[in-house]
Amino acid sequence: MATTDWTQQRLEQLRQTRVWRSIFRRGPARTNRTRSLAIFGNIGLHMIPVKVREKSLSVRATYYLGSISFFLFAILAITGVLLMFYYHPAVPDAYRDMKDLIYVVSNGVFLRNLHRIAAQAMVLAVFWHMFHVFYRGGYKPPHEFNWVIGVGLLMITLFLSYTGYLLPWDQLAYWAITVGTNIISYVPVMGKPIRFLLLGGHIIGQNALLRFYVLHCVILPLAAVGLIAIHFWRIQKDGGLTVRDDHE
Amino acid sequence: MPGEPKATEKPEEKNGVTRRDFFNEIAGGALTIAGLGAVAVTIKYASPNVLFEPPTTFRAGSPDDYPVNSVTYIQDQQVYIVRTDKGIWALSAVCTHLGCITQWKPEADQIACPCHGSKYQKSGTVQAGPAPRPLPHFSVVLSEDGALVVDKLEEVKETEILKV
């Protein structure tokens, strides 16, 4: 016990220092008021509610599907950035870099597979999350806007999945993107120009690979982060999660 | 209310529009035009003007290289050279459904797509499967030195057959 007291005294002293006070202005979170202020005053935490109903924390209320999707996204962002250290979005380097990651780079196969499997799991988790919210009636007022944001996030997840599919530059990638971009060209009037813009040409070549890489690594993740922030923030602004009364 | 500046005289209006409204409209309009312009410029920027793609015209050798009643696949160009007693035509090997590369099946006397099972006759006509259009015919001409020249950018009618 003496050690705990000593630690707490040191901690208290640390809390009184000028540097600590400059970072955490609110002081220790001992009362409900200071706990709330600690959440409000933190840029990462201010998007989540200060208080939630106990019911909405139970497993059966959400199965944590949204959180699972978010943590998979975090895993994908971290492993994705690490994969970028070895990957060149160029022909024919892309395929060789992918093979190097599997056979040459230390732990490369682990990171690559983690990225690949997490990506597949994220598509599953996001769909499951959507179905769960739908069948619980979570799209109803006052949550309609957050439902629309969620549909946007589903689209971004699928586009991320699709653009990432080309990057290994193997036969599977090539033909999947051939089929996919030909589907796009069936869009009335704008189909062919959209395909041309997406591929940066008429064929799936160097331009297409580079464009898919930039979409996959910069544009779509940034869009996802923005929408995820709004999605979380709106949960609190719309008055918490939709929870059925029979869930204890 | 304290702290709020005292309301001065009513702003001068002309035809019901104050100076502030007028400038707000001008600024809003200018920003809208600039925003749309930025989108247009970005789309134009993203459309490449020079492409480093393989040439679409190629020489396919002499007509004598293709026996009568044969279908020959030219892999580099994804084109079939078909020769029957009627003559020679060039057929795209790219499936009109979703762009997979078809294969000539001599035992079934048809062209088949491995992706979604479309089947074509060697004239390009769809026999089965989801393909929405027949395989396009490309223009084939005989050059002065007697070689077949195929232009993949120029699609021709099914009836235009090179007599040899």
pLDDT in tens, A69-109: 999 999 999 999 999 999 999 999 999 999 999 999 999 99
Please name the residue of chain A whose CA is at the shortest distance from the CA of residue B132: A186
The distance of B141 to chain A (nearest Cα, Å) reads 24
Asked if A175 lies within 8 A of B100 by C-beta distance, the reply is yes
pLDDT tens digits along B103-129: 999 999 999 999 899 999 989 999 999
How high is the ipTM of this complex?
Answer: 0.72
Q: Which tokens in the block code for residue A218?
A: 């910069």
Q: Which residues of B touch A207 (CB under 8 A)?
A: 48, 51
**Contact criterion met (CB below 8 Å) for B85 and B68:** yes
- The CATH number assigned to the domain holding A93 equals 1.20.810.10
Percentage of chain A surpassing pLDDT 90? 63
pLDDT tier at A1 (50, 70, 90 boundaries)? low
* pLDDT at residue number B88: 92
**Nearest residue to A209 (alpha-carbon basis) of A158, A169, A162:** A169
pLDDT tier at A200 (50, 70, 90 boundaries)? very high
Q: Which residues of B touch A184 (CB under 8 A)?
A: none
Mean pLDDT of A27-40: 83
Please name the residue of chain B whose CA is at the shortest distance from the CA of residue A202: B53
**Does B43 contact A at CB distance below 8 Å?**
yes
d(CA A184, CA A195): 6
A21 and A144 share a domain?
A: no
**Does A178 contact B at CB distance below 8 Å?**
yes
pLDDT tier at B3 (50, 70, 90 boundaries)? low
**Does B34 contact A at CB distance below 8 Å?**
no
Residue A248 scores a pLDDT above 50:
no
A22 and A70 share a domain?
A: no
Find the domain containing A22 and state its range.
Answer: 2-40
**Does A184 contact B at CB distance below 8 Å?**
no
pLDDT tens digits along B35-81: 999 999 999 999 999 988 888 899 988 888 899 899 999 988 899 99
* CATH code at B57-156: 2.102.10.10
Asked if A205 lies within 8 A of B98 by C-beta distance, the reply is no
Distance of CA A103 to CAs A7, A108, A201, B107, Å? 49, 8, 33, 42
Minimal Cβ distance to B100: which of A178, A201, A203: A178
Where exactly are the structural domains of chain B? 13-46, 57-156
Domain count, chain A: 2
* pLDDT at residue number A16: 87
Lowest mean pLDDT among A121-125, A131-135, B144-148: B144-148
A65 and A28 share a domain?
A: no
